[in-house]
Amino acid sequence: MIDPHVHLRDWGQAEKETLQHGMQVALQCGIDELFDMPNTSPPLTTEEAVLTRLEDAWRCNVGVRYHLWAGVTSDPRQVESIAKLATSLFPSVIGLKLFAGHSTGHMGLVEEQTQRSVYQTLASAGYEGMVALHCEKESLLRPSLEDGRDFSSHSMARPVEAETASVRDQIRLSGEVGFKGHLHICHLSSVEALGIVEEAKRLGRRISCAVTPHHALLSSKDACDHDLYAKMNPPLRSETERSSLFAALLAGRFDWVETDHAPHTLQDKELGASGIPGFSGLLLLVKQLIEQGASAKLLARLLGERVLQVAGLPEREICIPSYDQLSALSLAAAGAYPYDSFAKFRLR
């Protein structure tokens, strides 16, 4: 299986996870290809950092195909140079990442003019590869509604409207400047945002979107259980939203599943860090999809085939663990981290 959205930490965040550990756990779960995100410490925004990260990953040599997303900044010169680097190092560098809102790592480019400038620079440079997007419009966030003792309040502080508005912004801004690359909308948490992406597809835009196991399996009600530490960006939504996302996934409306695997230490989670381990949840989601009648063809598409197609990678077989293996593998993966946000779902 392929997981095109992971945060394997290491370097200045080695206490959270190392590249070696993350890849080993992924492989134990049947995930043999990973796309790593750039909000590392230091971030993957320079040629030196990108090359060092690739060397460190290859040195792990655990049998996982490793790629990374390079990050863009507000500096047009950096955007131009990192786009050139991504093109020359493809497929090791699978594409670029733009945080259209702040999240872990503080790489957010939150002003519309800055976002437009990134797309303009990419268009002028002739970059036509993938740009992965974290979509949450900063001006629509409501931090005053955040209660650090209640992780479910995170969904009020970062409402659905912030996601949908940002998705519309990225489609509009990139189109206005003639950007011809592929937009990938990461970790959608609302059916409304999915509809916006589907409309853009109908209009001929190169665009895809994905859902995470946590948004398809857990709701904001689960986040009320403090011991699950179920806080992430974008946050968990209502049970109605969650069930709608799962139904859309089962109907084949999403391009793929991505875990947004983002481990922290238990202390960091107690202090309110956003992000959870995702490999355990992926296996639970596959199990649930099978139980709800998902075909082998749909599972193969969601867990790798569509990623290969969009990313421009060679076709290969996507192997999925058997139904009987899924629970045991998920439990083992959860044991590799100091907390398990999918524990409640496992007991359902």
CATH of the domain at 229: 3.20.20.140
Q: What does the pLDDT read at residue 346?
A: 84
Per-residue pLDDT of 91-150, as tens digits, reads 999 999 999 988 877 899 999 999 999 999 999 999 999 999 999 999 999 999 999 999
Counting the structural domains of the chain, the total is: 1
Q: What does the pLDDT read at residue 183?
A: 98
Question: What domain range is 233 assigned to?
Answer: 2-346
Q: What does the pLDDT read at residue 13?
A: 97
Q: What would the mean pLDDT of 177-195 be, rounded to a whole number?
A: 98
Cis peptide before 42 (omega within 30 of 0): yes
Q: What does the pLDDT read at residue 307?
A: 98
Please check whether residue 50 is in contact with residue 93, taking contact to mean a CB–CB distance below 8 angstroms: yes
Residues paired with 150 in a beta bridge: 147
| Cβ-proximal residues to 118 (8 Å cutoff; 6+ apart), any chain | 72, 74, 79, 98, 109
Q: What does the pLDDT read at residue 104?
A: 78
Confidence check: pLDDT of 347 > 80: no
Q: What does the pLDDT read at residue 40?
A: 98
Per-residue pLDDT of 56-72, as tens digits, reads 999 998 999 999 999 99
Confidence check: pLDDT of 334 > 90: yes
Q: What does the pLDDT read at residue 235?
A: 98
Q: What does the pLDDT read at residue 106?
A: 84
Q: How many CA atoms lie within 13 Å of 157's alpha carbon, on the beta-carbon side?
A: 17
Q: What would the mean pLDDT of 307-329 be, rounded to a whole number?
A: 97
Q: What would the mean pLDDT of 308-319 be, rounded to a whole number?
A: 98
Q: How far apart are CA 85 and CA 102, in angstroms?
A: 24
Whole-model pTM above 0.85?
yes
Give the chain's mean pLDDT.
97
Q: What does the pLDDT read at residue 127?
A: 98
Per-residue pLDDT of 192-220, as tens digits, reads 999 999 999 999 999 999 999 999 999 99
- Say how far residue 336 (Cα) sits from the centre of its chain: 20
Q: How far apart are CA 140 and CA 36, in angstroms?
A: 28
Confidence check: pLDDT of 348 > 80: no
Q: How confident is the model at residue 345 (pLDDT cuts 50, 70, 90)?
A: confident
**DSSP reduced 3-state for 344:** helix
Q: What does the pLDDT read at residue 342?
A: 94
Annotated catalytic sites, by residue?
A: 260
Q: How far is CA 321 from CA 27, 277, 329, in A?
A: 11, 19, 9
Q: What would the mean pLDDT of 144-161 be, rounded to a whole number?
A: 95
Q: What would the mean pLDDT of 11-34 be, rounded to a whole number?
A: 98
Q: How far apart are CA 254 and CA 248, in angstroms?
A: 7
Say what percent of the chain tops pLDDT 70. Answer: 100
